């Protein structure tokens, strides 16, 4: 007969509570910062570490740089990025030639090689250019639109005659620019700083017509009106236009500028001073002597 089997030992009941480590891991996983580190930080660290190990090799770095440069050259050299034509608008032929020379572009050229801001500064450094705008348009067209300085006066300096605009900026030497109309002539130190006043005086002196030669700035504070025969009208420092109007009114009434007068001095608003020619002054002295003593024969008789 078989021996009786021993009854199997009863298994202890399983504790449903998690272990201490499982509990800690679950609590830690519930922390937002920990989940972000695991989900984002660790992958990012792994990627950075892998890239660092890869590019840490000098040969690999060189190959990567050459690949990027080659790709860039291929993109920049594509036809749609090339500038083939340069157009200048708003400038006279002489200034257009200056602009093309200043830009010195060897077309065709990639648009990526053009620094439009630097080119604009280069153009605005030209004396004849007040402002410039550069834009790359479709079809490989580089459009240059400039505002040219318009000369309003011829300024006679020690170095020669130059053209200046309404703000007194140098535009060009007189011989370098073809003028469409005659311009007023001024001279003297500091004349370029009072262009508006000079233009007002030239307008007021219009009745003089062809007799007007120009204006000369005296002592950087007042003007002389110079006529073609060398006569001068000396204007005061203040209200020179009004003083010139008075002189022209006097000339209309007495024709004083057609007489033997070298200087018509209006610097003192209270008194008009006239400087005669040497011949007229000698004649005046003779007449005064005659009036004071009579004819020589009468004095002896």
62: in domain: no
Q: Are residue 241 and residue 170 in the same domain, yes or no?
A: yes
For residues 260 and 220, state if they share a domain: yes
Query: In terms of DSSP H, where are the helices of 125-259?
Result: 195-204, 240-254
- Between CA 64 and CA 126 the distance in angstroms is 44
Q: Are residues 159 and 86 in the same domain?
A: no
Two tokens, residue 255: 């024709």
Is the pLDDT at 4 greater than 50? The verdict is yes
pLDDT tens column, 219-245: 999 999 999 988 999 999 999 999 999
Token duo for residue 103: 């830009």
Number of other residues whose CB lies within 10 A of the CB of residue 251: 19
Indicate which CATH number applies to the domain containing 137: 3.10.20.310
| pLDDT, tens only, 37-94 | 878 888 888 888 887 777 777 777 777 777 777 766 666 556 667 888 999 999 888 8
Clarify whether residues 267 and 177 are in a common domain: yes
Which is nearest to 179 in space by CA: 153, 208, 145? 153
**Burial category of 122 from C-beta neighbours within 10 Å (exposed 0-12, middle 13-18, buried 19 and up):** middle
Cβ atoms of residues 261 and 278 within 8 Å: no
- Does 28 reside within a domain? no
Residue 206 is assigned to a structural domain of this protein:
yes
268 and 206 in a common domain: yes
Query: 189 lies in a domain?
Result: yes
Which of 106, 129, 148 represents a domain boundary (last residue)? 148
Cis geometry, peptide bond prior to residue 68 (ω within 30 degrees of 0): no
Give the CATH number of the domain where residue 256 resides: 3.40.50.11690
Residue with tokens 């000396």: 234
Are residue 139 and residue 198 in the same domain, yes or no?
no
Domain presence at residue 115: yes
277 in any annotated domain: yes
Strands 185-187 and 153-157: parallel
How many degrees, rounded to 5, is the angle at CA 165 between CA 164 and CA 170? 40
Same domain, 136 and 246: no
pLDDT at 15 over 60: no
Cα gap 152→214, rounded to integer Å: 13
Mean pLDDT taken over the chain: 84
> How many angstroms separate the CA atoms of 182 and 180, rounded?
7
DSSP H or E stretch at residue 134: strand 129-137
Q: Could you tell me the residue range of the domain that residue 95 belongs to?
A: 79-148
At 152, list the tokens. 């309003």
Same domain, 161 and 273: yes
User: What total number of domains does the chain contain?
Assistant: 2
Pick from 148, 169, 186: which residue ends a domain? 148
pLDDT digits (tens, 9 = 90+) for 152-161: 999 999 999 9
Question: How high is the pLDDT of residue 298?
Answer: 46
Examine the domain organization and report whether 157 and 279 are in the same domain. Answer: yes
b/e sequence 216-231, b meaning 16+ C-beta within 10 Å: bbbeeebbbbbbeeeb
Whether residues 88 and 208 share a domain: the answer is no
Residue 117 lies in a domain: yes
Domain boundary among 148, 169, 197: 148
Clarify whether residues 172 and 143 are in a common domain: no
In terms of domains, do 157 and 113 share one? no
Q: What's the whole-model pTM score?
A: 0.66
Angle at Cα 13 formed by Cα 7 and Cα 19, nearest 5°?
140
In a domain, residue 36? The reply is no
């Amino acid at each position: 007969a078989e021996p009786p089997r021993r009854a199997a030992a009863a298994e202890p009941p399983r504790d449903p509570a998690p272990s201490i480590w499982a509990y800690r891991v679950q609590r830690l996983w519930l922390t937002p910062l920990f989940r972000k580190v695991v989900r984002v930080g660790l992958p990012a660290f792994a990627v950075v570490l892998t890239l660092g190990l890869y590019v840490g090799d000098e040969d690999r770095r060189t190959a990567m740089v050459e690949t990027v440069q080659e790709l860039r050259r291929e993109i920049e050299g594509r036809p749609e990025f090339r500038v083939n034509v340069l157009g200048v608008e708003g400038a006279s032929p002489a200034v257009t030639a200056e602009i093309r020379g200043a830009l010195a572009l060897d077309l065709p050229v990639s648009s990526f090689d053009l620094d439009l801001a630097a080119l604009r500064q280069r153009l605005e450094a030209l004396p004849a250019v007040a402002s410039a705008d550069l834009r790359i348009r479709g079809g490989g067209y580089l459009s240059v639109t400039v505002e040219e300085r318009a000369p309003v006066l011829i300024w006679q300096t020690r170095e020669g005659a130059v053209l200046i605009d309404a703000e007194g900026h140098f535009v060009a030497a007189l011989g370098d620019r073809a003028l469409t109309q005659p311009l007023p002539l001024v001279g003297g130190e500091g004349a370029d700083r009072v262009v508006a006043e000079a233009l007002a005086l030239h307008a007021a002196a219009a009745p003089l017509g062809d007799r007007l030669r120009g204006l000369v700035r005296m002592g950087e504070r007042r003007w002389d009106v110079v006529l073609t025969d060398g006569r001068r009208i000396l204007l005061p420092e203040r209200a020179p236009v009004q003083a010139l109007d008075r002189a022209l009114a006097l000339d209309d009434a007495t024709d004083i500028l057609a007489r033997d007068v070298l200087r018509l001095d209006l610097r003192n608003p209270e008194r008009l001073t006239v400087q005669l020619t040497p011949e007229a002054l000698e004649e005046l002295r003779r007449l005064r002597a005659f009036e004071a003593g009579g004819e020589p024969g009468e004095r002896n008789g």
